Amino acid sequence: MTASAEARIGGATRLAGVIGWPVEHSLSPAIHNAAFADAGLDWAYVALPVPPGRVREAVVGLAALGFAGANVTMPHKTEVADLVDRRSEDAELLRAVNTIRVAGDVVEGHNTDVGGFDRFLRRDAGFEPAGRSALVYGAGGAARACALALARAGIARLAVVVREPGRADGVRGVATSLGVPVEVLSPDGAAGRRFDLVVNATPVGGPHEPEHRSIPELGSEVTVVDLRYDPPITPLQHHAREAGATTFGGVGLLVEQAALSFELWTAAPAPLEVMSAAALAALAER
């Protein structure tokens, strides 16, 4: 599809978007519009800034406005889970929705973070979780999704770093429901420990930020994933690289979960390479 065709929006154009607050920083419009163009679909994807207190109106309005669906980002994932008509298994387990699909009058809530993280680990990072150990920083929606993906993939040992022990209940719940025990560590508790996989699922960049006052032993046999994608190399990644670990940022997960959303809406295979290139190009322009 040519650039001019990509930009042409008419009465038959199908719409999708991303709900969040703030949302102007999102890479999702660049990723999805590139995918729609590559697939030859008459679709368009827009940012939908929705302030706290207006989420219910936004979710109800999607069907009324003819949207095929939407992604959901911070801080609305948990609230949207309570507003949709039907939740997928993962959305139900996590009580968090990051993808909405409008099917007639029914608004479905899905969570593609779980499948996206699993695909990212196996395809991009080449990491097989079965029988391995993992440490996750954080206990929010992203951390819960990672824990669920790892537990399903057969992780043998899982630890989570949180500032307050009670905040780990959600991570513990999803992992233990699949028979994986969770060790809860304080921000000082990871020092000197060894894990095969280290995941930062918090907004901070570590290792000297509050969530990362101590980090585990790092070396060539350790894979480190920082789910942040801006900056492209976070302090945690930099530290891990210096120690010889294999490191990855958050673009891979962003693209994989976006691909699953694309496939939910369109029933077409997602053009992963195009989506990844669009994400990297948008980041480079910042």
pLDDT single digits (tens) 64-78: 999 999 999 999 999
Cβ count near 193 (within 10 Å) = 16
Q: What is the pLDDT of residue 261?
A: 98
Cα–Cα distance, 285 to 280 (Å, whole number) = 9
Return the domain boundaries, the chain: 3-111+252-284, 115-249
Contact residues for 159 (Cβ-Cβ < 8 A; gap 6+): 133, 134, 135, 136, 182, 183, 184, 185, 190, 193, 195
CATH class for the domain made up of 3-111+252-284: alpha beta
90-128: per-residue pLDDT in tens? 999 999 999 999 999 899 999 999 999 999 999 999 999
37-53: per-residue pLDDT in tens? 999 999 999 999 999 99
Q: What is the pLDDT of residue 221?
A: 97
CA 34 to centroid of chain Cα atoms: 19
Q: What is the pTM of this model?
A: 0.91
Cβ contact 55:84 at 8 Å: no
The catalytic residues are 77
| pLDDT at position 153 over 80 | yes
Side-chain half-sphere CA neighbours of 84 within 13 A: 29
The sheet carrying 246-248 orders its strands as 182-185, 157-161, 133-137, 197-200, 223-226, 246-248
Pick the closest to residue 93 from 114, 79, 122 (CA basis): 114
Q: Judge if 3-111+252-284 and 115-249 fold alike in CATH terms.
A: yes
| pLDDT at position 210 over 50 | no
Burial bucket for residue 113 (CB in 10 Å: 0-12, 13-18, 19+): buried
| pLDDT at position 209 over 60 | no
Q: What is the pLDDT of residue 4?
A: 38
pLDDT class for 9, splitting at 50, 70, 90?
Answer: confident
DSSP E strands in the chain: the ranges are 14-20, 43-49, 67-72, 86-87, 99-103, 106-110, 133-137, 157-161, 182-185, 197-200, 223-226, 246-248
Pick the closest to residue 201 from 264, 250, 268 (CA basis): 250
**Better-predicted residue by pLDDT, 4 or 156:** 156
Q: Domain 115-249: what homologous superfamily?
A: NAD(P)-binding Rossmann-like Domain (3.40.50.720)
